Chain A
Amino acid sequence: MQVSMTVNGRDVSADVENRTLLVHFLREELRLTGTHVGCETGYCGACTVHVDGKPVKSCTMFAVQANGADIATIEGMASNGDLHPIQEGFWERHGLQCGFCTPGMIMSAASLLEENSDPSEAEIRHGIEGNLCRCTGYHNIVRAVEYAGAKMRGEEPAPPDWEEGS
């Protein structure tokens, strides 16, 4: 079946099998391999992308269901070489180790901050609860989102824990 969609601002179209998952279309047809597959059951969140502005686990959606949609993936987050504040937060606050969950985590965090520009710790934890990380214990991911939120509000982020000797 022929599908057309916009991915990171670029119009794409291709002939796909009906059963092709959106994540496989992105990874294998478009070679956008930043979106990862971790569990194929919608539980780990590594495959999170934005579909028409909403976070979606792209292993739970067929490519044909995204026909006509506006898709954003991790590869589209930085613009003109400038990192998105959430990407910057993950780097500045050691919010990643192996990096495999990171693209999905960043996409979920972006949606969270779009809805709530100043989330509490509990709101951040709830907002990324659908994205599993096995490396960080989430401590520095929450810090990364706090950092990004401050930046996006035009505020100075709190200093990192290691400077406070925490």
Chain B
Amino acid sequence: MTTTTSALGGSIRRREDPALIQGLGTYADDVTPHGTVYVAFARSPYAHAKINSIDTSAAAAADGVVAVYTNSDVSHLGDLLAQVKIVKGRPLLAGDEVNHVGEAVAMVVAEDSYKARDAADLIDVDYEPMKAVIDLKEAASDVALVHDDLESNVILAWEAGPWGDEEGIAATQQTIDDAKARDDTVSVSVEAVNQRLMPVAIEPRSVVAEWEAGYGRFVIHSSSQVPHALMGAVKTTFGLDATHVQVIAPEVGGGFGVKLNVYADEILVCFAAQQLDRPVKWTETRRESSGSSIHGRGWLGTATITGTRDGEILGYELDAIADMGAYEQNFTVAIPFLGLFVGSGQYGFPTHWKVTCVFTNKMTTDACRGAGRPEAAYYLERAIDAYAREIGVDPIDVRKKAFIEKFDEAVVSPIGFAMDTGDYATNLDKLVEVSGYENLKAERDAARAEGRYVGIGVSSYCEVCGFAPTALAELGFSWSTYGLPAGFYGSGLVRVNPDASVTVITGTGPSGQGHQTAWAQLVSDRLGIPVERIRVIHGDTGEAPMGIGTFGSRSVAVDGSATYDAADRVAAKAKDIAAHLLEASADDIELSAEGASVAGSPDSSIEWGEIAAAAYLPHRLGESEIEGGLESHVIFDPPNATWPFGSHLAMVEVDPDTGNVEILRYFTVDDCGIQINPMIVAGQVQGGVTHGIGQALLEEVVYDEDGNLLTSSLLDYPIPTAEDVPFYEIDSTVTPTNVNSIGAKGIGEAGTIGAAQTVVNAVVDALEPLGVKHVDMPLRPKRVWAAIQEARG
């Protein structure tokens, strides 16, 4: 066997990299078919206004302009489609009113991108400004309405404890109220903002549509995490079938949720390509990305832990408002629902969890790395930390006392969902061990004695990934995957070609997660064929008949498992063919990098090339009744989601004179089950943690009271640089899931879900000598300095 470099579990170099490190990868904006024309949008400067009229004549007459479109040209196509929509979707172009700054009002198409932008500036719109709904509490109390045709800004409230059981929720609240009434208990509340973020992929979104008029067919390149969703939206909007819409997500320069959407601009670019019979391209500017691509988070809530004075938690309550922005897009109201799944974290105590989703006159919110789960973890873990601090018990001890015990078979959480497997105490114990927690505490205390402000923060988290089993996807909504029934299945096709190279086609849409490498490792593990001979195709609806895309840390657990199972079936057939050719029993055949051999008879062997050729030259199969071909396509519907978990620890120092927070050490012990490529897993954690640190220390979307966006560039919206973060100290425990054949759970968001509260807990610990109990994110120097000044009186 020469599979040592390809076996599952090896930290092999990525198959993706040679092209990317030489600048030879193809991203959507690199695709410029002959005759391409360019789009620019005129966008609303108002958060809320009536549109009295739009004058496009100057733009239409401008140099190089090919076409100008407004709502009346495209309204027959209907609103933008979404996978979850409760009450109000987005018009493709604004109709008689605009509802956030940056909403597209008109589209200009011109011979080059500079001319298109010049002309867009000539669009003259007569706006009549209206009151903007910005503040979340005002939105929830309907002080003014975002949409006049609705009775309330409130879309719905997600409530659990357990979910979907009103009597159970009332009983849970009664239990918590009884605990509060006891003499030996204390209730500690944290009112906190989990601020609105921009996901910020470094690659702006870009879409290029070609209309093949002779064939009545679209070919679309888009920087999308969900190419099949875009295909579904285009075919539904334009009345085509799947063979007439091919969406290709080429190299995608980061996703983080911002590309987990079908956008109006993608549909409009297709419309223009069809109208003009020319290739049409639109690439957003960073300013457009900031105001007109989706945001995430945006919660305001109060989290309360009730427990005894010696550290036994008796109940947890969360009451929060979540900002949905002006319109629902792909998953908008479903994001807090993802948070609900893990509302009780790793714990067994009674939990009453409620989040109310409201419209505001801001850009739509949707998935931002973690998507609901960082918010849920933040409130829970901040409240636990505040409680531990209040009663003077080590936060590690408080958590361990409250953990659900190790389980190998499904356990139902207080929120009401069956979790697959978990071993939380072992995980936290490992964090204590690898971080040298006791030594760190001694270091902190020594620093404190010198008058320095050093602190340690810890957080555990529970995640939910692998979306989605049909059983879960049918909850909560009438989900639509653009014409398919509920269920977010995984797709994997494995084909051994006649020359014994392997083509793998999968339904994912990665943006840097390394699927070409990891999927090749999965297939190599089953077939023995080296990864160098395995090509993985993803993000192409012309190749994969179905696919759900890459988000929610779902790809390995769902599509990866489908591919693994397909490779298993191909291996079985390869053994049948080899057995026939070697005149042996299939049960005795062993596969390797070279081919097949008969167990115990090393001389009786055959190369992969012979096996593969025989599969496509049926006369070589003789009377074996083996059908020609050597491939399998598996669609996998997992029986449950996966529930990864982990614990993080940060050690920080606060400069009391400037308020600057420096992260001295950062430890992670994540548990994503079986790891296909530990190098890639660690990379996901490092990137994820940095995203969480960005939320904790730097990032915040700011709208003023009139709804003007004050953070429309990377200067106003800083994300972490190399100087803001340390080397990470990464470790793991391995608790395999039992809901897929790999045993893998998912790791793409774990770092982000664990990080923000870990850092804030550490900063609060650092400032404990001053009596600071909470500082809202982002903990920029000015805000921390102000908290220090206030505490010092």
Contact = CB atoms under 8 A, between A and B. Distances in A.
Contact of B722 (A37, A91, A94, A125): A125
B23 A34 contact: yes
Contact of A41 (B27, B511, B514, B715): B715
A75 B24 CA distance: 7
Interface in B1-48: 11, 13-14, 16-27, 29-30, 32
Nearest to A74: B23
A27 B26 CA distance: 12
Contact of A135 (B17, B512, B682): B512
A58 interface: no
A33 B512 contact: no
Interface in B256-276: 256
Contacts of B719: 132, 134
Nearest to B23: A34
B680 A94 contact: yes
Interface string B501-522: 0000000000111100000000
A82 B13 CA distance: 17
Given A97-B683, A99-B21, A124-B722, A37 B691 contact: no
Give the secondary structure class of B's interface.
loop
B721 A132 contact: yes
Contacts of B21: 83, 87, 90-91, 96, 99, 102, 106
Nearest to B115: A17
Given A44-B714, A100-B253, A129-B723, A28 B32 contact: yes
A28 B30 CA distance: 9
Contact of B254 (A129, A135, A138, A139): A135
Nearest to B21: A87
B679 A160 contact: yes
Interface stretch (B197-205, B385-393, B453-461): B197-205
B302 to A, nearest CB: 31
B286 interface: yes
A56 interface: no
A75 B715 contact: no
A106 B23 CA distance: 10
Contacts of B20: 96, 99, 102
Nearest to B252: A98
Interface stretch (B77-85, B102-110, B536-544, B725-733): B725-733
A129 B20 CA distance: 21
B789 interface: no
A75 to B, nearest CB: 5
B251 interface: yes
B16 A99 contact: yes
B678 interface: yes
B464 to A, nearest CB: 23
A163 B10 CA distance: 11
A87 B27 contact: no
Contacts of A39: 286, 713-714
B285 A40 contact: yes
B22 A98 contact: no
A40 to B, nearest CB: 6
A125 B713 CA distance: 22
B94 interface: no
Which of A96, A124, A126 counts the most chain B CB atoms within 10 A? A96
B421 interface: no
A150 B715 CA distance: 34
Nearest to B201: A134
Interface in A1-27: 17, 19-20, 27
Interface size class of B (residues with CB under 8 A): 35 or more
B687 interface: yes
B686 interface: yes
A39 to B, nearest CB: 4
Contacts of A157: none
Interface in A62-85: 73-75, 77-78, 83
Which of A32, A94, A125 counts the most chain B CB atoms within 10 A? A94
A38 B23 contact: no
B172 interface: no
B27 A94 contact: no
A39 B287 CA distance: 8
Contacts of B251: 98-100
B371 interface: no
Contacts of B253: 36, 38, 98-101
A142 interface: yes
A20 B114 CA distance: 9
Contact of B512 (A97, A160, A162): A97
A91 B691 contact: no
A162 B24 contact: no
Nearest to A20: B114
A60 B612 CA distance: 54
A101 B17 contact: no
Contact of A137 (B18, B255, B687): B687
A17 B23 contact: no
Given A134-B691, A166-B730, A34 B24 contact: yes
Nearest to B22: A78
Interface string B708-725: 000001110001111101
Interface in A122-156: 124-126, 128-142
Given A132-B202, A140-B686, A99 B512 contact: yes
A19 B114 contact: yes
A40 B30 CA distance: 16
Contacts of A166: 729-730
A17 B112 CA distance: 12
A89 B719 CA distance: 25
Which of A17, A19, A28, A138 counts the most chain B CB atoms within 10 A? A138
B246 interface: no
Interface string B200-214: 111110000000000
A129 B718 CA distance: 12
Given A34-B24, A92-B13, 16 more contacts: A33-B27, A37-B29, A38-B202, A39-B286, A94-B14, A94-B682, A98-B253, A129-B722, A134-B687, A135-B687, A137-B688, A137-B691, A138-B725, A139-B725, A160-B11, A161-B730
26 contacts: A17-B114, A20-B114, A34-B25, A36-B253, A39-B286, A41-B713, A41-B714, A43-B715, A44-B714, A74-B22, A78-B22, A94-B682, A96-B512, A97-B514, A99-B512, A101-B202, A101-B253, A102-B21, A103-B23, A135-B512, A136-B683, A139-B725, A142-B722, A161-B730, A162-B678, A162-B682
Interface of A: 17, 19-20, 27-28, 32-41, 43-44, 46, 73-75, 77-78, 83, 87, 90-92, 94, 96-103, 106, 121, 124-126, 128-142, 160-163, 166
Interface of B: 11, 13-14, 16-27, 29-30, 32, 114, 200-204, 251-256, 283, 285-287, 511-514, 678-680, 682-683, 686-691, 713-715, 719-723, 725, 727-730, 751
Q: Which 6 A-B pairs have the closest CB atoms?
A: A34-B23, A100-B253, A98-B512, A99-B20, A97-B512, A137-B690
